[in-house]
Structure 1
Amino acid sequence: MTASILFVFLAASIALTFAPGPDNLFVVTQGIARGRRAAILTALGMCSGITVHTVAAAAGISALFYSSALAFQVVKFAGAGYLIYLAWQAVRERSSLGLAASLGLSGAALFRRGFVMNVLNPKVALFFLAFLPQFTNREAGNIPLQMAVLGLVFMAQALVIFTGIGFFSGIVGNWILRRPRAGRWFSWLSAAIFASLGVRLALAQR
């Protein structure tokens, strides 16, 4: 791969990462509902999930979601169910006591939320399967290795952008968490957002 190809890939990746979508919304929601720490740890988990999609695309595993409707449906509904579960948890945390408890979530639990949300989205797998090969060069050889490198570049820029989004949304979240009444309203808002993301994923088509 040439430097020019990597530059074009990086520019396209940054534009796609900044574009409004479920991942951005998920990080923002975590930041507003739970504060800066939660948003950043969730963003780290989501970016780690990119490695799974990169390996799957490079190994051709993601093609299974394209060729098998059953595989796509299974992973899709698993991801939708997980988002609905997060919505239910947000409703449970609507009291000030629940908000205080949510601040005590371990770093591993917050990281896992982002990771699972990203991995259980077959649309992301199909995106990587379609996006990465466009920037590979057969003459350079070893296409899977090129895709792995591109996936790492994508993950690096996503890490910077998502943690930045998490940081700034967390500033708002930390302000809200000091005001229990506002926090209760945002717990309901978080639940509504998670539920809508779950329904959107459940209705997604290949």
Structure 2
Amino acid sequence: MLSIETITLFFTASVLLSLSPGPDNIFVLIQSMTQGFKAGSVIILGLCSGLLTHSIAVVLGVAVIFQTSEVAFTVLKLVGAAYLIYLAWGALRAKPSELNQEQQRLPLKQLYFRGIVMSSTNPKLSIFFMAFLPQFVTPETGNVTLQLITLSGLFILAALLVFHTIALLSGYLGNKLNESDRVQLFLNRLSGFVFVGLALKLVTTDR
């Protein structure tokens, strides 16, 4: 079993890591600002579901494949980059009123799927989990697999808390700003450029 000291240290580190600027929390910020807190919350659930797949991959040892196979790593990151470009295209070509109507019609399943794809197609997350989690595992104190599962759950909980805080603040700000068509158009364009930037970052990422 994990000690209280280990749990506290790991959870604190997880909160700080979730707060540090990265693709996931930037994605949450932009989506919540342009679509509102509810949409951002559903996207967060998708992102954390993606984190769950990475944690399972670590427990099963699948993450080693992405660390050792250049082809697997490249294919997965290209799929993720292509999806981000698709989102960027949708944001850049839409007019404020059109985008607002589209977002109101977006089903929760689609928003949830958007979060899953964003998280699952980032191979560096599996490698990060594989490097980060074992540092807090102590084999002599109990089952290693159970400890890894517990740590993964704590990391996802930290991400949920941090991301929802970001979504709440940015969603509130977005609601105020979206009252102006000019500001909404700016936010749409900003979203598109952020998605392009995230896609380029993902494509140029090394293992």
Q: Would you call these one fold, judging by a TM-score over 0.5?
A: yes
Deviation digits for residues 109-152 of structure 1, max 9, x if unmatched? Answer: 11111111011100111100100111111112432221111000
Partner of 2:3: 2
- Supply the distance in 2 between the matched residues of 1:64 and 1:181 (Cα, whole angstroms): 47
Give the residue type in structure 1 aligned to 2:67: Y
Matches within 5 A, 1:1-206: 1-206=2-207
Task: Normalising by structure 1, report the TM-score.
Answer: 0.96
Deviation string 1:179-205 (CA, Å, 9 cap, x unpaired) is 222111111110000000001100000
Residue identity in the other structure for 2:69: S
Deviation for aligned residue 1:69:
0.7
Task: Kindly provide the amino acid, as one letter, of the partner of residue 152 in structure 2.
Answer: G
3-state SS in 1 of match to 2:119: helix
1:160-182 per-residue CA deviation (whole Å, 9 max, x = no partner) reads 11011101100011123322221
Give the deviation of 1:98 after TM superposition: 2.3
Displacement after TM superposition at 1:105 (Å): 1.0
CA contact (8 A) 1:132 1:151 kept: yes
Runs of 5+ in structure 2 lacking a partner? none
Give the conservation status (yes or no) of the 8 Å contact 1:51–1:151.
yes
Seq. identity, %: 38
RMSD between superposed Cα atoms in Å? 1.2
Following TM superposition, the consecutive aligned residue runs of length 4 or more in structure 1 with deviations greater than 3 angstroms are none
Amino acid aligned to 2:91: A
Which amino acid in 1 is paired with 2:44?
A: A
Q: How many residues align?
A: 206
Tell me which amino acid in the other structure corresponds to 2:201: R
TM-score scaled to structure 2, two decimals? 0.95
Alpha-carbon distance in structure 1 between the residues aligned to 2:127 and 2:171: 30
Contact 1:32–1:172 (Cα < 8 Å) also in 2: yes
The letter of the residue matching 1:191 is G
Counterpart-to-counterpart distance in 2, 1:71 and 1:141: 33
Determine the C-alpha separation between the residues in 1 that align with 2:118 and 2:148. Answer: 22
Distance (whole Å) between structure 2 residues aligned to residue 77 and residue 110 of structure 1: 21
- Measured in 2, the distance between the counterparts of 1:194 and 1:97 equals 19
